[in-house]
Amino acid sequence: MVSLKRVLAGLTVLPTVLAHPPPFADGRGHKIAPKVFIISMFAPEGEAWWGIPEFDILAHNITVPGLSPLFPHVHCTADHAVCQLITGESEINAAVTMTSLVFSDLFDLRSTYFFAAGIAGISPLQGTTGSAAFARYAIQVALQYEFDAREIPQNFSTGYVLQGALAPGQYPLSIYGTEVFELNQDLRSHAVAFAKKAKLADSTTAQEYRAHYKQNGTHEQYKIAALPPSILECDVATSDVYYSGNLLSQAFDNTTRILTNGTGTYCTTAQEDNASLEALLRAALHGRVDFARIVIMRTASDFDRPYPGESPTYHLLQAEQGGFEIAVENIYRAGIHVVQGILDGWKETFDHGVKPSNYIGDIFGTLNGKPNFGPGRAQSLEESGALLTKRSRAELSKRRPLRL
Ligand SMILES: *[C@@H]1O[C@H](CO)[C@@H](O)[C@H](O)[C@H]1NC(C)=O
Ligand SMILES: *[C@@H]1O[C@H](CO)[C@@H](O)[C@H](O)[C@H]1NC(C)=O
Ligand SMILES: *[C@@H]1O[C@H](CO)[C@@H](O)[C@H](O)[C@H]1NC(C)=O
Ligand SMILES: *[C@@H]1O[C@H](CO)[C@@H](O)[C@H](O)[C@H]1NC(C)=O
Ligand SMILES: *[C@@H]1O[C@H](CO)[C@@H](O)[C@H](O)[C@H]1NC(C)=O
Ligand SMILES: *[C@@H]1O[C@H](CO)[C@@H](O)[C@H](O)[C@H]1NC(C)=O
């Protein structure tokens, strides 16, 4: 998530030339089979990879139907080993763009590593601005009932209630299937080891702002927020709503714990990852991508809640947190080691893949295996409305054709 002024600034980088339709597809009649596919969400994240010394990702611009009108091209290096696209921001843009990519016949993505690398908010309980966090879980935290703050019952801790539940803190009884995605933790360990080679950028504005989180007494828990940026392993929340403040952050931290049955760590906040993951999961079901080859890295551009004593509106809307520039820079500084680590280790390790020792996939167990979260396949399918009930079967059989 980024502030509105950043989003508007991002919009000034509109593509001015339409690329030519691709010769099929790498010019030699082969489908394009990148080793690494970088997923960016908006222009500043995309440009973090442009003009770098390691490779020229703008050597090919390939128009792919279904991509965002703002970002209509897939960009690739001359040898097509590394490609990139920009999804556009929020869940809808991410879902449509990624679906269009993974079902495009221009590409063979079966061995491709997907590297979603964007900026995000961060919980001061887990880290600080400029840090790069690698997720095992992506949690769609705002897929809930919501009551306006002014109408919340006295005995509710938040206005958010999971769907089908009767009060905050209860497990949902209505499941959509996109609530939680779990990724390959063994691949994450490789990515984290690569990223730890990076010297992360920092700035005095970011240092000054994060120093406010260092308080003695009651706010000891924010100590880590005042430390320099680092490489973290913790999870990403997805929400179209760009929320901020103590209470919503705590509510979605609670949601993360409930939906992952206590195994996830609420850490970064963004607007796309669950949507991109749902597209990748559907493609994996048809053998078009390998769900064990996904890395999500989010670099922190701002805190999800104010420092003690600061108003939440001042924190989000006015304060200069200094995190945006270093977060964008650190996408490149940390991310380049992940890309190069995969390319350099291709023959030895990554071509045949890194076997996950944990469950990977969604709450239904769509890709087989048994999720370590959720109510199990049978019950979650029932609660998703995927199964016809006896009652609805009986009602359907009573239907008569309309006489017009
Ligand atoms: C690809 O597009 C980018 C900007 O969108 C442009 O800078 C670059 O020159 C283009 N590359 C080619 C080969 O046309
Ligand atoms: C809140 O209070 C109402 C009565 O006002 C009660 O029905 C409900 O069970 C309470 N909920 C919780 C979560 O305590
Ligand atoms: C979002 O993705 C994360 C990580 O893959 C997953 O743990 C989470 O369940 C997903 N949430 C939703 C609502 O899809
Ligand atoms: C708490 O912080 C204040 C201001 O940063 C400082 O003056 C004070 O000595 C600190 N107290 C303790 C017990 O560390
Ligand atoms: C989060 O959960 C804890 C423990 O159940 C509860 O005390 C707290 O009020 C919850 N916070 C919010 C904002 O819902
Ligand atoms: C997760 O928690 C829910 C609610 O407590 C429970 O019904 C479900 O069985 C748990 N799932 C796993 C895999 O432990």
Q: What is the pLDDT of residues 65-104, one digit of tens each?
A: 999 989 999 999 999 999 999 999 888 889 999 999 999 9
For the ranges 32-36, 279-283, 363-367, the maximum mean pLDDT occurs at 32-36
Which 3 state secondary structure label does DSSP give 81? coil
Higher per-residue confidence, 387 vs 227:
227
Mean pLDDT for the stretch of residues 206-227: 84
As a whole number, mean pLDDT of residues 346-356 equals 97
**Which residue has better confidence, 1 or 79?**
79
Cα torsion 325, 86, 82, 131: sign:
positive
Closest-lying ligand 5 atom to the alpha carbon of residue 250:
13
Atom of ligand 6 nearest to the CA of 261: 1
Q: Cα of 369 to ligand 5 centre, how many Å?
A: 32
- Interacting residues of 7 by C-beta distance below 8 A, sequence separation 6+: 42, 89
What pLDDT shows up at residue 381?
82
Tell me the CATH number of domain 30-396, given options 3.40.50.1580, 3.40.50.1980, 3.30.300.20, 3.50.50.60: 3.40.50.1580
Q: Name the closest-CA residue to atom 12, ligand 5.
A: 251
The pLDDT of residue 14 is above 90: no
Question: Which whole number is the average pLDDT over 377-387?
Answer: 78
- Residue 32 CA to residue 34 CA, distance in Å, equals 6
Q: What is the pLDDT of residue 12?
A: 42
Cα separation, 375 vs 173, whole angstroms: 9
With the most atoms of ligand 6 within 8 angstroms of its CB, the residue from 173, 254, 373, 377 to mutate is 373
Lowest-pLDDT range, 28-37, 55-64, 210-219, 374-383? 210-219
Band (pLDDT 50/70/90 cuts) for residue 254 is very high
pLDDT for res 26: 61
Ligand 5 pocket mutation pick from 252, 254, 255, 304 by most atoms within 8 angstroms of CB: 254
Residue 291 scores a pLDDT above 90: yes
